[in-house]
Structure 1
Amino acid sequence: MKIWITLTSAAFAVLASAKCPPCKTMKWANCDGTPCQCLLTVSNTTRLKVDCTKLVPKCFVMMAEMHRAREGQRTHTISGKPHEKYYPDCESDGTFKAKQCNNSEECWCVNSAGIRRTEKGDKNLKCDELVETTISFYLIHKPVSTALDTTTLKTDIADAINERYMNFSTDMMEHPLYIDEERSITLKVMTRNQSNDVVSMAYYMEKDVKGQTLFTNKDEGFKPTVGGQKLEIESIEVNYIDETPPTYRECYCRKRQE
């Protein structure tokens, strides 16, 4: 009888789990329970409940990525430069805390995208506020069969972002610059009152273009239709322009040959 009860309990657990659809916007989340809930593991002791109708905040995604890397689980390289790779400290809504220390005695200040903007200091370092940033995208698409009609470029890009990532309108970005010879699209997106959503959108888009999608379904990724032609984006560069200048400066120096 005891064995039968154990097997029946396991069967009910499988059935309950089977009723829960996978988390559309986060492939690493586990969904089960009655009612269904999806949880993202970000440490050995913490799982965060995520809303699978929205993008998971970038800060939470980075926590999950760093945890998976530490545990030797399959993950992708965290997008960005080496100094952007750390286990972040997040607010309850997924916003980056202004001061980051990466579980060490060394701390620094970040902008709303979690990008370091000061020199590193000790735990007495003061980061008075989270500085907002404008996000700049530089996209290059693959060759198309005919010349691209860019008359409705701004609307087309906004529609593509709205459809795949978040509630988005044309007034959130400057008019894109298109250079035909480079097959490049440059656009700037203001974070405004949707900072967390825009920051997450930029991270998800970068992952999509690099073939590291965070979505559960491995669909065609970010392929905006511009002037009636669907574009395949082959490369992306994401940069950040803070409202106040950063005090941190990188030195891209070539070591002198002896």
Structure 2
Amino acid sequence: MEPLFGVVLGLILAVASPAHDSCTCATNKWAVCAQEGPGNCTCRLPGSDHPADCSTLTSKCFLMKAEMIPLQEKRLWRPPHGVSGSDGIYSPDCEDSGDFKARQCNGSSSCWCVNSAGVRRTEKGGRSLRCRELVRTRWISMELRHEGSSRPFSAPDVAQALTRLLESRYQLHPKYIAAIKYDPPLIQIRLDQSKKPRGDVDIADVAYYFEKDVNNDSVFPSNSKLTVSVNGDALAIEKLWIYYVDEKPPEFCMRQLAAGISAVVTVVLLTAGVGIAVLLILRWLRTRTYKKFECKEMREIKAPSLELP
């Protein structure tokens, strides 16, 4: 009986293990998944408790909200090397669709407006601050710098490799890749998406996933590490900068410009004032010198008339 029991137990474990292992989210390692029956694996997003669609990228807003959960509350599913909130991440307010709400607040007093990528685009204000609309981030520029390689890469090969990466790993349609420029060791990727049709991934989500990959804090499962190969040679990315350009200019730019103009005007006025003061002092000194010289000349002229014949 004991051998038979061992065989039965082994079969049960063999059947149960794949089902358990398969209940994971392919596009979000932080999603909390549970097997609710044969072939029924459901995943939810921590922080917002929304259902996770593991067939596509998770929205940046939901990802940032998940990252703000205290580490001790998600240590069972988040690796210990996860980043903290020191990189500018905040706990955002998200729409049910995963979009950022136009107004974001930190605590009870500080609020600001963001674009569709969740990046602040106004000065911070109080609770009375109003954000009329969520301004769309039309295009994103990602600038990379790679490590040295044994042989130089060609620009077409680099563009082809990165296009393939964006399409296969991040599910981005090539039509949203406006340009890829290469000036060793710098690479610029420009993503252009004025409108996001239903079913297409957002370029802001792509940029966020890519940023996490480069910073060795991938949102994908741990066995899905970022690798970029150009004709068989590894393209190791060591630095990444991301710039967001909205359909409308940021509203705090004009304030900063006004402050800059005010500073320039102040400097000019101070310089002019100092110059005028110096001219007045020089004129006063010149006048005093002239009067002294005139008095001396008058005394010399009058002196001979006093002599007796």
Into which bin does the TM-score normalised by the smaller protein fall? 0.7 to 0.9
Q: Identity of paired residues, percent?
A: 36
Shift of 1:20: 4.2
Q: Secondary structure at the match of 1:162?
A: helix
Output the CA distance in 1 between the equivalents of 2:231 and 2:212: 25
Structure 1 residues 176, 95: CA separation in 2 closer, same or farther (over 3 Å shift)? Answer: same
Q: Is the 8 A contact 1:105 1:122 kept in 2?
A: yes
1:1-258 matches, within 5 Å, as 15=16, 18=20, 20-32=22-34, 33-34=36-37, 35-42=40-47, 46-69=48-71, 71=73, 73=75, 74=80, 75-78=82-85, 80=87, 82=88, 85-133=89-137, 134-169=139-174, 171-180=175-184, 183-194=185-196, 197-223=202-228, 225-226=229-230, 229-248=233-252
* Residues 168/111 of structure 1: CA separation in 2 closer, same or farther (3 Å cut): same
Q: Secondary structure at the match of 1:204?
A: helix
Q: 1:90 to 1:37 in 2, by over 3 A?
A: same
The answer as to whether partners of 1:89 and 1:102 remain within 8 angstroms in 2 is no
Tell me the CA shift for residue 215 of structure 1. Answer: 0.8
Cα distance in structure 2, aligned partners of 1:104 and 1:72: 26
> 1:72–1:51: structure 2 CA closer, same or farther, 3 Å change rule?
closer
Gaps of 5+ in 1: 1-10, 252-258
Letter in 2 for 1:125: L
- Give the letter for the 1:207 counterpart: K
Which ranges in structure 2 are unaligned for 5 or more consecutive residues? 1-11, 257-309
C-alpha spacing 1:196/1:122, structure 2 compared with 1 (3 Å): farther
SS at match of 2:44: strand
Output the TM-score relative to the length of structure 1. 0.78
SS at match of 2:50: strand
Counterparts of 2:227 and 2:136, CA distance in 1: 25
Measure the CA separation in 1 of the matches of 2:86 and 2:241. 10
* CA-CA distance at 1:78 after TM superposition: 4.6
How far 1:103 sits from its partner (Å)?
A: 4.5
> What secondary structure does 1:94 align onto?
coil
Q: Which amino acid aligns with 2:122?
A: T
Q: Could you list the per-position Cα deviations for residues 2-51 of structure 1 after superposition, in whole angstroms to 9, with x for gaps in the alignment?
A: xxxxxxxxx9xxx5972642111111212112321011220xxx522101
- CA-based RMSD: 2.8
**1:230 is aligned with what amino acid?**
A
Cα distance change, pair 49–165 in 1 and its aligned pair in 2 (3 A): same
Q: Cα 1:79–1:231, aligned 2, differ >3 Å: closer, same or farther?
A: farther
Shift of 1:139: 0.7
Give SS of 2:25's match.
coil
Q: Secondary structure, in 3 states, of the residue corresponding to 1:192?
A: coil
Question: TM-score scaled by structure 2?
Answer: 0.66
Match for 1:218: what amino acid? N
Distance apart, 1:167 and its partner CA: 3.1
TM-superposed CA distance for 1:62, in Å, is 0.6
Rg bigger for which structure? Answer: 2
Residue 56 of structure 1: CA displacement? 1.0
Residue 216 and residue 145 in structure 1: after superposition, are their counterparts in 2 closer, same or farther (change >3 A)?
Answer: same
User: CA shift at 1:217, angstroms?
Assistant: 2.9
More helix by share: 2
Q: Cα 1:209–1:179, aligned 2, differ >3 Å: closer, same or farther?
A: same
Count of residues in correspondence between the two structures: 230
